[in-house]
Amino acid sequence: MIDVLTVIAPILSAVAGGLIGFLSARAMWRAQERQRLRNVATGFLLEISALEKMLTGYANMLSGPGLFKVDTPIYPPTGLYRTLQREVFSFDPALSQSLFQFYLRVMEAEQLRTMDPRDPRYGIMQEGAGAALRSAVSQLPALRKALAGHAGTAAGLLTPGV
């Protein structure tokens, strides 16, 4: 009986050590994933807060009478969404869909910039871009709240246009 315990004890110790190591590594990985997602949410929260004032202005301008040529980017080529587009789908389905729709609308307006104002479709595109930006701007309060929840910050921490 003592010989069996002498043989089994090191095996059980190795299995227990392996299990503890696995569970520890898994817990650490989960914590890192949660922190990564919080960082991504914070980044998107900062970006949409910084863009809000400009997007509101463009939405009003493009929805008004007359044709306007937008010379400056509505959304920069180095924007966070372009860099972290895949990360949008790491959030829960409702937030992922809202973020995707928001940025899709902003990109739609950005496409207007590449058109020549003399193009016969320009007026229709401007109307569409104005409507898309109005919709995007209307999404901002809910997006800010949802992202703040994922980021672990208070929704009021980042005020519009800051």
When divided into structural domains, the chain yields a total of 1
Residue 104 lies inside a defined structural domain of this protein: yes
Residue 30 lies inside a defined structural domain of this protein: no
Residue 78 lies inside a defined structural domain of this protein: yes
Cα distance between residue 89 and residue 139, in whole Å: 18
What's the distance, Cα to Cα, between the start and end of the chain in Å?
74
Specify the pLDDT at position 152. Answer: 83
Residue 60 lies inside a defined structural domain of this protein: yes
Specify the pLDDT at position 154. Answer: 57
What does pLDDT average to in each consecutive run of 10 residues of the chain (162 residues)?
A: 77 85 86 90 93 90 79 87 90 94 92 82 85 93 92 60 43
Identity at 129, one-letter amino acid code: A
What is the extent of the structural domain holding 100? 40-157
Cα distance between residue 79 and residue 143, in whole Å: 17
Specify the pLDDT at position 44. Answer: 94
Cα distance between residue 39 and residue 152, in whole Å: 10
* Residue 106 contacts residue 100 (beta carbons within 8 Å): no
Specify the pLDDT at position 64. Answer: 76
Specify the pLDDT at position 9. Answer: 80
Specify the pLDDT at position 162. Answer: 42
Specify the pLDDT at position 155. Answer: 52
Cα distance between residue 60 and residue 52, in whole Å: 12
Residue 153 lies inside a defined structural domain of this protein: yes
Cα distance between residue 123 and residue 80, in whole Å: 29
* pTM recorded for the entire structure: 0.78
